[in-house]
């Protein structure tokens, strides 16, 4: 593939796992005929951004520019682009390309394609080096990986749908969560608060597990029917053997066995949280009552569109706290203290 022309944009990057994020300049490609160029207006702050910037998953390519909840305005389109025109509001989530031909891509499950290109942290096949995320002024993405965002939405509050939204919607959808089911969501952060909203909208009886007593009222406002303080063993014991499904969004080390014990026979615990260190699992909570433990990774493009439509129908959007780009390091520290209500979104005009 010939190297396309590049242009420079301002961005925020981490130079190493221990360096705070700081201003820099990166290259973006001029749109090829199938590309959409977007001026980034808002970018959500996912805990994955922090894991990546601090190399907690051990694949970070520095300098690291995180950000995969991107909303902006289309500034140019390639000659073969049909879905977008200049001026449209567009979204980009965690994926910017895939092979498009493997069985996963054919099934619309691009997130499982072994050649998928993540918005940040993959190899950039156009310009070389790592792909760079949304903590930047502009991005150029293949049309097929750009999502249409209805113009009537608050674009800042729509940004977190592109990772937190699809990551929680996809497993609830896949496991057919709905009316008559008791569903748990563990952790009320960016993912968790979207998970509570979706599970409630799907008609489930929703129980939120939190380590933060102060979040109980918010959890109920967001759609939880019950709130359990997970550190309180007596509260946890009351729910033993009673859940159809539990979605675990926790970003740090915690006890999975405590949640497995809350599942009914054949119940299912799905991990979306991706802590740095392995989580020990005991055999007995799984083999007694034939319970399952599994995971889920974001969602493919068709399901992301379905999630956006579901959000439109049920009026689901994120609860956000807007920050300036220069506040990102403080925001990361607050995220580590579970002090986010419930998603930071960067106003990219501040870059
Ligand atoms: P977040 O906003 O920081 O929320 C995580 C929540 O987990 C916290 O608000 C807190 O909720 C709870 N928590 C934190 N530390 C805890 C601990 N030590 N023990 C128990 N609970 C704790 O993070 P996020 O952006 O939602 O992301 C959550 C995780 O999902 C991250 O690991 C991220 O990388 C991962 N992720 C995975 C995917 C995927 O495709 N699978 C996609 C996006 C993100 P309470 O205060 O309510 O306890
Ligand atoms: Zn994310
Ligand atoms: Zn593929």
User: pLDDT tens-digit profile of 279-308?
Assistant: 999 999 999 999 999 999 999 999 999 999
349: part of which helix (H) or strand (E)?
none
- Determine the atom of ligand 1 nearest the C-alpha atom of 209: 47
Taking 3-state DSSP, the helix, strand and coil percentages for the chain, each rounded to the nearest 5, stand at 30, 30, 45
3-state secondary structure of 81: coil
Closest alpha carbon to 45 in 106, 133, 130: 133
Q: What is the CB neighbour count within 10 angstroms for residue 193?
A: 29
Q: Token pair for residue 294?
A: 């599994």
Q: Which pLDDT score, from 0 to 100, does residue 185 have?
A: 99
Closest alpha carbon to 175 in 22, 296, 319: 296
C-beta of 272 in contact with ligand 1 (< 6 A): yes
End-to-end CA distance of the chain: 32
Please identify every stretch of the chain with a pLDDT value under 70, giving residue numbers as ranges. Answer: 1
316: part of which helix (H) or strand (E)?
none
Q: Which pLDDT score, from 0 to 100, does residue 231 have?
A: 97
C-beta of 273 in contact with ligand 1 (< 6 A): yes
The rounded Å distance from CA 149 to ligand 2 centre is 18
Please, is 32 exposed, middle or buried when counting C-beta atoms within 10 Å of its C-beta (0-12, 13-18, 19+)?
A: middle
Mutate which of 250, 278, 304, 323 to test ligand 1's pocket (most atoms within 8 Å of Cβ)?
Answer: 250
Q: What are the φ and ψ backbone dihedral angles of 63, each rounded to 5 degrees?
A: -70, 140
Q: Token pair for residue 49?
A: 């951004």
**Strand runs (DSSP E) across the chain, as ranges?**
6-13, 22-29, 35-44, 70-77, 89-92, 95-97, 117-118, 138-142, 147-148, 182-186, 205-210, 226-229, 243-248, 263-271, 292-295, 320-324, 343-347
Q: Which pLDDT score, from 0 to 100, does residue 327 have?
A: 98
Mutate which of 338, 341, 345 to test ligand 1's pocket (most atoms within 8 Å of Cβ)?
Answer: 338
Ligand nearest to the CA of 318: 1
Q: Which pLDDT score, from 0 to 100, does residue 152 have?
A: 76
Q: What is the dihedral of CA 19, 21, 25, 27, to 10 degrees?
A: 90
Q: With the C-alpha atoms ordered 48, 51, 54, 55, is the resulting torsion angle positive or negative?
A: negative
C-beta of 200 in contact with ligand 1 (< 6 A): no
Could you identify the residue written with the tokens 């579901």? Answer: 310
Q: What are the φ and ψ backbone dihedral angles of 343, each rounded to 5 degrees?
A: -150, 130
Long-range contacts of 147-150 (CB under 8 A, 24+ apart): 147/90, 147/91, 147/92, 147/93, 147/301, 147/304, 147/305, 147/308, 148/83, 148/84, 148/88, 148/90, 148/91, 148/305, 148/308, 149/71, 149/89, 149/90, 149/91, 149/308, 150/89, 150/312
The rounded Å distance from CA 47 to ligand 1 centre is 7
**Whose CA is closest to atom 22 on ligand 1?**
250
Q: Which pLDDT score, from 0 to 100, does residue 2 have?
A: 72
C-beta of 208 in contact with ligand 1 (< 6 A): no
C-beta of 181 in contact with ligand 1 (< 6 A): no
C-beta of 219 in contact with ligand 1 (< 6 A): no
Please name every residue paired with 295 in a beta bridge, in sequence order, or none if there are none.
Answer: 271
Instruction: Provide the pairing of β-strand 70-77 with 89-92.
Output: antiparallel
Task: Give dist(CA 40, CA 43) in Å, integer.
Answer: 7
Ligand nearest to the CA of 50: 1
Q: Which pLDDT score, from 0 to 100, does residue 4 have?
A: 84
Q: Token pair for residue 19?
A: 């360096």
């Amino acid at each position: 593939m010939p190297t396309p022309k590049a242009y420079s944009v301002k961005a925020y990057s981490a130079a190493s796992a221990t360096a705070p994020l700081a201003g820099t300049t990166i290259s973006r490609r001029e749109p090829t005929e199938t590309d959409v160029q977007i001026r980034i207006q808002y970018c959500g702050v996912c805990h994955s951004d922090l894991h990546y910037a601090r190399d907690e998953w051990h694949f970070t390519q520095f300098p690291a520019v995180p950000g995969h909840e991107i909303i902006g305005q289309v500034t140019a389109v390639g000659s073969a682009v049909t879905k977008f025109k200049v001026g449209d509001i567009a979204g980009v989530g965690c994926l910017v390309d895939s092979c498009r031909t493997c069985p996963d891509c054919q099934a619309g499950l691009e997130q499982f394609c072994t050649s998928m290109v993540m918005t940040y942290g993959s190899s950039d096949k156009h310009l070389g080096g790592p792909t760079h995320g949304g903590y930047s002024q502009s991005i150029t993405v293949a049309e097929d990986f750009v999502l249409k965002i209805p113009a009537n939405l608050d674009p800042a509050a729509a940004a977190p749908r592109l990772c937190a939204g699809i990551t929680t919607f996809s497993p609830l959808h896949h496991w057919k969560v709905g009316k008559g089911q008791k569903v748990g969501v563990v952790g009320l952060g960016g993912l968790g608060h979207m998970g509570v909203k979706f599970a409630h909208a799907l008609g489930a009886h929703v129980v939120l597990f939190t380590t933060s007593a102060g979040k109980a009222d918010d959890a109920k406002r967001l759609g939880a029917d019950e709130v359990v303080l997970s550190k309180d063993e007596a509260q946890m014991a009351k729910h033993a053997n009673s859940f159809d499904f539990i979605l675990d969004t926790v970003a740090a080390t915690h006890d999975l066995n405590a949640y497995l014990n809350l599942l009914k026979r054949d119940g299912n615990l799905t991990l979306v949280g991706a802590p740095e260190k392995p989580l020990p699992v005991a055999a007995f909570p799984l083999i007694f009552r034939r319970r399952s433990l599994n995971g889920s990774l974001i969602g493919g493009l068709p399901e992301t569109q379905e999630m956006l439509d579901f959000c439109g129908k049920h009026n689901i959007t994120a609860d956000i706290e807007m920050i300036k780009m220069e506040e990102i390091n403080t925001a990361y520290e607050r995220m580590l203290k579970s002090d986010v209500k419930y998603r930071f979104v960067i106003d990219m005009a501040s870059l």
